[in-house]
């Protein structure tokens, strides 16, 4: 195997488990250098973007962003030029995400407690994938593959929400000091996540509501409100046109607002054209 | 099969009833048998026909009303079917016999009332007996199915309870940590294993015993928290407060467990920095107040995802146990802490026994 030194990131909130995975990996694959250890999802995304490792081991259940959400965020923000998107390996104690979805896939998974034989298998698979990548350089295709799979996994995780979903929200109640402003969702152009708040943009006003986008999203009618980025949900009727630039990036132009919105690669397949 | 049964039974009865059944006159006996056969055939066919028709009609009505269908028309209608069926069947049987033998036996309507009633009564008997038999059998089967369904539901519930207590995510993560510790720090691994054993034993015993002292409850929570602390490190800061005078009070076993689990799972685990977890018992007038308070991400910030389903089951289970044991005198409330504090407070109140018995 003529693999040059490879790098990896480990994201696991439990210190003992993170450390043991690192030791186990160094025993099974001495040439693999663990360049970053992250204790929560957001840290994993930041570190991965900074260090650009070849492989990311992501625990699924982490504080802040879950492993899947971190992977999705990473897929959205990964630069299209330069280092290819990392190979992903999810770690989980219990297959709450119907792990058959991971079988024979660009993304791999291991169950906790991590069995050395299983981890050795994973390492073998990763080595092969890295070699293949080196030979052909099919980075964009791989990224697209991973993105497709992540989308499937995320929607599989969200599926249970749809079943017990209450009536979609019609009216937003926005507190402004002592008043509560009623904002019909029909008037909203788009929602944008801002830390623990959501910015609500209408044709001529901007509001701030104390709710996270993650909480708000299940309350919206998914037919009428489309998530186009992990931090942006747009009312479909408010979209005037989607424009693709030379690098393949999609930008949305809206009716009644000069704002433009970027569509992340995760959600690009929403816009197909007839 | 039913028809054959009725036929055989009835032939026997009718034959025995007739004078000199196996008597000298063979020709006569043969005719008797033939008539018997015809009458029973007629009766059973008519009864079956009527009963089936009634059942179909009733079920049509019941489906329209959204009720469950049933296998027979019910007693009043069935009796009517039996009477009418026997009446019609008897006449039909005699007519059939007449055609076959060429004789001219008088039908029910051509003999005097008394002998007709006698004939009818005797013919009714086997039909009645068989109906009772089949209805009884049906009822036994229905009861059996019902019992089986109840048993299955109870088993499913038990399994869900156990699964919620032995949350697989917690269990496998704990084992993963244990596996690491064995190689790194054997003494710590041993103590972790002891906590796990105590926790598992308590969980498996909880459904069997009705109550244990509050001090025992707190000890089991300590086991659980010790396990979680190995995993979460300084992100979990537990504080337990049990006044000595309350330590011996009986409480349902592992009543607080689901609340502590929720506080960790939905409050502290999702919080990047973790936080304080306070578990306390105190007396308020004639009530015992048990409180689980976490300074985690808070109720509203908890993920609106599949994971919340577990919470509902946990809370539901606590409420159900309180209701069975104490009725409306006990309860569980859940409250988000007001800003600037963040977190969730779960509070159980239950009636205390009178002070002199303490």
Contact A15 B270 (CB under 8 A): no
**Of A10, A11, A12, A15, which to mutate for an interface test with B (greatest number of B Cβ within 10 Å)?**
A15
- Residues in A 18-57 with any Cβ partner in B closer than 8 A: 19-20, 39-40, 42
**A147 and A57, same structural domain?**
yes
B230-287 tens-digit pLDDT: 989 899 999 999 999 999 999 988 899 889 998 998 889 888 888 999 999 999 988 9
Q: Burial of B167 by CB count in 10 Å (0-12 exposed, 13-18 middle, 19+ buried)?
A: middle
Spell out the domain ranges in chain B: 2-154, 168-357
DSSP A265: T
Name the token pair of B97.
């016999």
Q: What is the largest CA-CA distance in chain B?
A: 110
**With contact defined as beta carbons under 8 Å apart, do B87 and B120 qualify?**
yes
CA B20 to chain centre: 58
**A152 and A39, same structural domain?**
yes
DSSP A81: S
**A198 and A113, same structural domain?**
no
Nearest-CA distance B278 → chain A (Å): 20
Residue A154 belongs to a domain: yes
Least confident of A116-120, A179-183, B89-93: B89-93
pLDDT-derived band of residue B159, with 50, 70 and 90 as boundaries? Answer: confident
Contact B172 A64 (CB under 8 A): no
**A126 and A79, same structural domain?**
yes
Residue span of the structural domain in which A180 resides: 171-270
Query: Of A62, A15, A122, which is closest to residue B177 (Cα–Cα)?
Result: A15
Mean pLDDT across chain B, nearest whole number? 81
Mean pLDDT value across residues A57-83: 87
**A158 and A192, same structural domain?**
no
Task: Name the residue with tokens 């039908």.
Answer: B107
Please list every residue in chain B whose beta carbon sits closer than 8 Å to the beta carbon of residue A20.
179-180, 183-184
User: Which of A17, A40, A158 lies closest to B180 in CB terms?
Assistant: A17
Mean pLDDT value across residues A18-43: 93
- Residues in A 113-132 with any Cβ partner in B closer than 8 A: 113-114
**A21 and A139, same structural domain?**
yes
Q: Which of A107, A133, A162 is the last residue of a domain?
A: A162
Residue A1 belongs to a domain: no
Please list every residue in chain A whose beta carbon sits closer than 8 Å to the beta carbon of residue B231.
14, 16
Helix/strand/coil (H/E/C) assignment for every residue in B54-104:
HHHHHHHHHHHCCCCCCCCCCHHHHHHHHHHHHHHHHHHHHHHHHHHHCCC
Mean pLDDT value across residues B164-172: 81
**A178 and A91, same structural domain?**
no
**For chains A and B, what is the number of CB pairs under 8 angstroms?**
76
Mean pLDDT value across residues B117-144: 81
**A251 and A221, same structural domain?**
yes
Question: What CATH number corresponds to the domain at position A84?
Answer: 3.40.50.2300
Please list every residue in chain A whose beta carbon sits closer than 8 Å to the beta carbon of residue B185.
none
Element holding B15 (H helix, E strand): helix B2-17
Answer whether residue A163 shows pLDDT above 50: no
User: Which of A93, A114, A158 lies closest to B169 in CB terms?
Assistant: A93
**With contact defined as beta carbons under 8 Å apart, do B49 and B81 qualify?**
no
Mean pLDDT value across residues B323-327: 85
Residue B275's region, left for phi above 0, alpha for psi from -120 to 50, else beta, is left
Q: Which of A162, A196, A219 is the last residue of a domain?
A: A162
d(C-alpha A236, C-alpha A6), whole Å: 43
**A175 and A105, same structural domain?**
no
DSSP A223: T
DSSP A4: P
Specify the long-range contacts of residues A27-33, CB closer than 8 Å, at least 24 apart.
A28/A116, A28/A119, A28/A120, A28/A123, A29/A123, A29/A127, A31/A3, A31/A5, A31/A6, A32/A5, A32/A6, A32/A7, A32/A8, A32/A123, A33/A5, A33/A6, A33/A7, A33/A8
Question: What CATH number corresponds to the domain at position A217?
Answer: 2.40.50.1020
Please list every residue in chain B whose beta carbon sits closer than 8 Å to the beta carbon of residue A161.
304-306
Query: Of B230, B176, B237, B164, which is closest to residue B203 (Cα–Cα)?
Result: B164
Contact A94 B272 (CB under 8 A): no
Residue A215 belongs to a domain: yes
More confident residue, B114 or B288: B288
Mean pLDDT across chain A, nearest whole number? 84
Number of domains in chain A: 2
Q: What percent of chain A has pLDDT over 90?
A: 39
User: Which of A111, A160, A212 lies closest to B301 in CB terms?
Assistant: A212
More confident residue, A26 or A102: A26
Nearest-CA distance B162 → chain A (Å): 16
B180-216 tens-digit pLDDT: 999 889 999 999 999 999 999 888 887 677 788 999 9
Answer whether residue A159 shows pLDDT above 50: no
d(C-alpha A43, C-alpha B172), whole Å: 24
d(C-alpha B136, C-alpha B141), whole Å: 9
pLDDT of residue A97: 59
Name the token pair of A7.
């790098």
Least confident of A14-23, B178-187, B300-309: B300-309
User: Which positions in chain B have a beta carbon within 8 angstroms of at least one beta carbon in chain A?
Assistant: 168-169, 171-173, 175-181, 183-184, 230-233, 235, 269-272, 274, 300-301, 303-306, 309
d(C-alpha B345, C-alpha B333), whole Å: 8
Q: Which of A162, A187, A210 is the last residue of a domain?
A: A162
A103-126 tens-digit pLDDT: 555 578 888 888 899 999 999 989
β-pair type (A232-235, A225-229):
antiparallel
Q: What percent of chain B has pLDDT over 90?
A: 27
Mean pLDDT value across residues A29-48: 94
Which ipTM was obtained for this model? 0.74
A203-261 tens-digit pLDDT: 888 999 888 888 888 888 888 999 999 899 999 999 999 998 887 789 999 998 899 99
User: Which of B173, B270, B271 lies closest to A14 in CB terms?
Assistant: B173
Residue A264 belongs to a domain: yes
pLDDT of residue B122: 76
DSSP string, B229-273: HHHHGGGEEEEEE--GGGTT-EE-TTSSHHHHHHIIIIIITTSTT
Sequence-distant (≥ 6) Cβ neighbours of residue A244 within 8 angstroms: A250, A251
**A72 and A183, same structural domain?**
no
Backbone angles phi, psi at A134, to 5 degrees: -65, -40
Please list every residue in chain A whose beta carbon sits closer than 8 Å to the beta carbon of residue B272.
39-40, 42, 63-64
pLDDT of residue B302: 47
Select, from the ranges A72-76, A110-114, B91-95, B288-292, the one with the highest average predicted confidence (pLDDT).
B288-292
**A190 and A68, same structural domain?**
no
In this structure, CATH architecture of domain B168-357: 2-Layer Sandwich (3.30)
Answer whether residue A270 shows pLDDT above 50: yes
d(C-alpha B11, C-alpha B126), whole Å: 10
Mean pLDDT value across residues B309-316: 67
More confident residue, B4 or A47: A47
**A198 and A131, same structural domain?**
no
């Amino acid at each position: 195997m003529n693999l040059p030194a490879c790098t990896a990131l480990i994201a696991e909130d439990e210190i003992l488990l993170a450390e043991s995975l690192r030791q186990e990996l160094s025993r099974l694959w001495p040439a693999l250098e663990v360049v970053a250890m992250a204790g929560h999802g957001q840290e994993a995304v930041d570190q991965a973007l900074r260090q650009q490792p070849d492989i990311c081991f992501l625990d699924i259940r982490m504080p802040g962003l879950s492993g899947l959400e971190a992977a999705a965020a990473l897929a959205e923000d990964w630069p299209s030029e330069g280092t290819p998107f990392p190979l992903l390996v999810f770690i989980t104690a219990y297959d709450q995400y119907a792990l058959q979805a991971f079988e024979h896939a660009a993304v791999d998974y291991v169950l906790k407690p991590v069995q050395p034989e299983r981890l050795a298998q994973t390492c073998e698979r990763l080595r092969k994938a890295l070699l293949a990548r080196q030979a052909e350089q099919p980075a964009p295709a791989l990224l697209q593959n991973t993105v497709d799979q992540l989308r499937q996994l995320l929607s599989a995780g969200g599926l249970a929400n749809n079943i017990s979903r209450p009536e979609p929200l019609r009216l937003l109640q926005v507190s402004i000091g002592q008043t509560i402003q009623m904002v019909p969702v029909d008037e909203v152009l788009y929602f944008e996540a801002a830390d623990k708040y959501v910015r609500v943009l209408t044709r001529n006003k901007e509001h701030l509501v104390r709710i996270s986008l993650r909480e708000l999203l299940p309350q919206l009618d998914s037919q009428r409100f489309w998530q186009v980025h992990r931090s942006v949900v747009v009312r479909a009727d408010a979209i005037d046109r989607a424009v693709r630039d030379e690098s393949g990036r999609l930008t949305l132009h809206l009716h009644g607002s000069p704002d433009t919105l970027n569509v992340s690669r995760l959600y690009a397949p929403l816009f197909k054209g007839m | 099969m039913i028809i054959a049964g009725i036929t055989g039974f009835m032939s026997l009865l009718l034959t025995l009833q007739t004078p000199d059944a196996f008597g000298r006159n063979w020709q006569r006996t043969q005719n008797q048998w033939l008539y018997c056969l015809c009458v029973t055939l007629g009766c059973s066919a008519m009864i079956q026909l009527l009963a089936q028709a009634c059942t179909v009609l009733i079920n049509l009505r019941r489906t329209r009303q959204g009720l469950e269908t049933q296998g027979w028309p019910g007693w009043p209608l069935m009796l009517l079917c039996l009477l009418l069926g026997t009446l019609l069947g008897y006449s039909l049987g005699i007519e059939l016999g007449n055609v076959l033998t060429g004789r001219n036996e008088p039908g029910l309507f051509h003999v005097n009332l008394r002998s007709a009633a006698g004939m009818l009564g005797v013919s009714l008997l086997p039909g009645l007996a068989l109906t009772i038999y089949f209805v009884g059998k049906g009822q036994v089967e229905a009861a059996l199915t019902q019992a089986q369904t109840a048993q299955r539901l109870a088993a499913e519930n038990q399994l869900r309870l156990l699964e919620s207590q032995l949350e697989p995510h917690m269990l496998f993560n704990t084992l993963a940590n244990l596996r690491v510790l064995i190689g790194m720090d054997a003494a710590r691994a041993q103590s972790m294993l002891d906590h796990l054993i105590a926790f598992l034993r308590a969980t498996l015993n909880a459904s069997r015993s009705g109550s244990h002292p509050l001090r025992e409850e707190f000890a089991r929570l300590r086991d659980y928290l010790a396990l979680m602390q190995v995993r979460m490190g300084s992100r979990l800061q537990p504080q337990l407060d049990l006044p000595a005078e309350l330590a011996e009070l009986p409480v349902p076993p592992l009543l607080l467990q689901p609340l502590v689990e929720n506080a960790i799972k939905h409050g502290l685990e999702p919080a990047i920095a973790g936080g304080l977890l306070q578990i306390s018992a105190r007396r308020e007038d004639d009530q015992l107040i048990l409180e689980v308070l976490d300074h985690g991400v808070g109720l509203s910030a908890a993920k609106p995802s599949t994971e919340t389903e577990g919470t509902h089951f946990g809370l539901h289970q606590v409420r159900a146990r309180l209701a069975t044991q104490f009725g409306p005198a006990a309860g569980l409330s859940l409250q988000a802490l007001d800003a600037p504090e963040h977190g969730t407070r779960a509070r159980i109140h239950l009636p205390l026994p009178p002070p002199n018995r303490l």
